[in-house]
Structure 1
């Protein structure tokens, strides 16, 4: 029996450390070349498999693959494309089998969040539904930190570190100018239904007098009057007010404060603009001078200030995925398990893809203060270890990080037919 090749792909919004997981997958596969052949990477995620656009990673040098560990974004291209149910679009699954057979692929590693793990689970069912043997392992990734089972998600720790530091630094700026200038600063961060990233902003302050004075979570219904009263109180007490707002902040009836009126490729409401919406409320009701900022892609691309814990965990998840496959496990995802005890330690566990797919882990209510505007000490103890340590990339002589750009040479196509997305 010939040695089977592997398919690896990145999916969804990329992170500062998703390439570290890719590095873990490829380096571990290369170390087991007697069991796994070539690792093909999907050009733009699962779309690359459907279009037979497979990047031959064997053509990349050992040094360049190693450099993925300190390079942000998605080295092979990502996508927001969700496979339909088998019954709805059998042709997609037939196409995957055609491509996998043509390139002797027997291992499938899909690196992404909840929707991506749904895709991974559907691919894992090919053996049962269509008689094609495929070992499928999900690789966890999401800055939103909302995958179930795993203690935390690779990608989150670095975003949390960036948001905490940005909140701290911006607060120092506002405080120094609040006597005669800006009184209110609002930082909008990612988080559709889960407020983990917004919660990380809370690490910037130790008590009520320190920023952020207000955190807005998707898990707590937004009350306009209560929010404005807290802003006014903070300005009068401390001279200024810093707000960290999740993009998913919503009213009690479920309406998003920043509903853009559109849907993304996964069918989710397109969000954006909660910061200016809140700033406008402050201006109209209180008249305070304000500034606002949207962290947007900056928060998830900031590899220069990545958490060392996050980098280590991202690499470990990629490595574990290959090891799981070689041990004969299938339709599972490696997870991070926090060990009990005073000092932070973690190990690797696993969770079934059938239970991970399409699930969201929200902030526990006991992580949010009773007034709904801050984090508890228990939440702080959970978050702090995840942002610890620095893992700086190497720097060029011009002062910029030295990030790798792969050749991404496509393997020769073997099928005569194409596939339209």
Structure 2
């Protein structure tokens, strides 16, 4: 029997540890050379497969692949491209199978969030229908931490650490100047529908009065009057008010506080601007001097402050995906399973993609305080282990050293080009 090659691709917004998952996939596949052939990566995600723009990872040295573990962003490029149903766009599926068949690809590893889980499921289901069965394994990745059936998502722990540290450090700055200057600081965090990232700001506090004084979650309807009263109360009591706001903060009718009106390829609203909106709201009501910051790409690319727990888990789910494929598994996702007991332990499990695709995991209500403005002790106990530990990249001349792969293209075998 001919040994099949594997296809690996990165999808959606990248993280500081998604390359650690790539490292886990490639290194593990290399340990099974007699059972799995080359790992061919899609240049810019699934688009690379559709365009037959594949990267031969066998051209990279063991040292370069190992360095992926401490390199942020997507080493092979990512994309936001969601496959429609086969009835809506049969041509894309037929093209994928043509490319996979031409390059002897029998394993499909897709590294991403909920939308890529949906793509992975569709490939697993329809490849057999189209006469070329492919084993599809999903590798979880999302800073939003909103995938179901996994304790947490690789990428979240490091973003949570960044937000918590940034909140604490910025709060110290504001506190030192609040007597004569800034009274309010707002940090805008990512999170469209789930407030996990904003919630991580709550880890910055250790005692009564510590920042953040207010956290805004998408799960809790925004009430302008209630919010402004809390801001005023904090300024009077502590001298200043630090707010961590999720970009997905919304009113009771579901309207976002800040919606650009633009939609991405997945159909999601492009958010951003909740911090300045809140700042102007506060300024017009009280006249307080304010500053705001948008963490944006900084929070998801900050490998220099990554959580070692996050790095280890990202690598582990990549490695496990290969083991699952070689064990004959299909249409599953590698998951993180939390052990019982006070001491944090975790292991890798698996879940059926039918139960994951297009399902979002929100913040449970008992993780949010009754007033809706902060996290509970249960939330703190859940998140604290995920930001634990440091895993610094190597430094040279004061700068972190990240690998740049050669990304050698695989020669095309199909004459027909595919337009997306």
Q: 1:49, 1:261 → 2: CA distance?
A: 30
Corresponding residue SS for 2:399: coil
Partner of residue 334, structure 1: 334
Partner of residue 167, structure 1: 167
Answer yes or no: is 1:297 the counterpart of 2:297: yes
Q: 1:141, 1:345 → 2: CA distance?
A: 20
Partner of residue 70, structure 2: 70
* Cα pair 2:120 2:138 within 8 Å, conserved: yes
Provide, for residues 47-75 of structure 1, a one-character-per-residue CA deviation record: whole Å limited to 9, x for no partner: 00000000000000000000000000000
Answer yes or no: is 1:308 the counterpart of 2:314: no
Partner of residue 269, structure 2: 269
**Greater than 2 Å deviation, 4+ residue runs:** none
TM-aligned CA deviation for residue 93 of structure 1 = 0.6
* Cα pair 1:20 1:70 within 8 Å, conserved: yes
Partner of residue 405, structure 1: 404
Q: 2:153, 2:101 → 1: CA distance?
A: 32
Partner of residue 414, structure 1: 413
* Unaligned stretches of 5+ residues in structure 1: none
Please report the RMSD computed on the Cα atoms of aligned residues, expressed in angstroms. 0.6
Partner of residue 229, structure 2: 229
TM-aligned CA deviation for residue 262 of structure 1 = 1.4
Question: May I ask how many residue pairs the two structures share in their alignment?
Answer: 420
Aligned ranges 1:20-169 → 2 under 5 Å: 20-169=20-169
* Unaligned stretches of 5+ residues in structure 2: none
Answer yes or no: is 1:371 the counterpart of 2:371: yes
* Cα pair 1:146 1:153 within 8 Å, conserved: yes
* Cα pair 1:126 1:134 within 8 Å, conserved: no
Corresponding residue SS for 2:298: helix
Q: 2:33, 2:375 → 1: CA distance?
A: 47
TM-aligned CA deviation for residue 129 of structure 1 = 1.7
Partner of residue 195, structure 2: 195
* Cα pair 2:11 2:111 within 8 Å, conserved: yes
Q: 2:352, 2:37 → 1: CA distance?
A: 26
Q: 1:261, 1:15 → 2: CA distance?
A: 25
Corresponding residue SS for 2:106: strand
| TM-score for the superposition, normalised by structure 2 | 0.99
Corresponding residue SS for 2:351: strand
Partner of residue 349, structure 1: 349
Q: 1:207, 1:48 → 2: CA distance?
A: 50
Q: 2:364, 2:80 → 1: CA distance?
A: 28
